[in-house]
Amino acid sequence: MQNQKNMGKIWKNPSKKEDKHPDLKGFIWIDGVKFDLGGWLRQEDDGRTHYSLSARQYENPDNGGVTKTLGKGANRVPSDGYSSAHDLNDAIPF
């Protein structure tokens, strides 16, 4: 997938070693900004299952933490109103 707007990928986490690590990992591009995704399989009291998701803005470790973007619109606030995906929950590791 070549940096397509409002699209992404998610797959089984090959490096999961602890329960707190996500079952799924991936990424998504939203309005020109790349976000890392994590997903945890959860079971509700009534037996139904779902995935709990977390997203945080991608920080490129090879570029001093500079966020990778598609260019135009890269400084926009995500549509959920948070100034950064880190505002969602810093305690979730991935």
Longest dimension (CA), the chain: 46
Q: What is the pLDDT of residues 45-86, one digit of tens each?
A: 999 999 999 999 998 777 665 555 555 544 444 444 444 444
Dihedral angle sign, alpha carbons of residues 12, 53, 67, 74? positive
Q: What is the pLDDT of residue 5?
A: 77
- The span from the CA of 39 to the CA of 19, in Å, is 12
- The span from the CA of 84 to the CA of 76, in Å, is 10
Q: What is the pLDDT of residue 67?
A: 56
Q: What is the pLDDT of residue 76?
A: 46
Q: What is the pLDDT of residue 91?
A: 53
CB distance 32 to 74 below 8 Å: yes
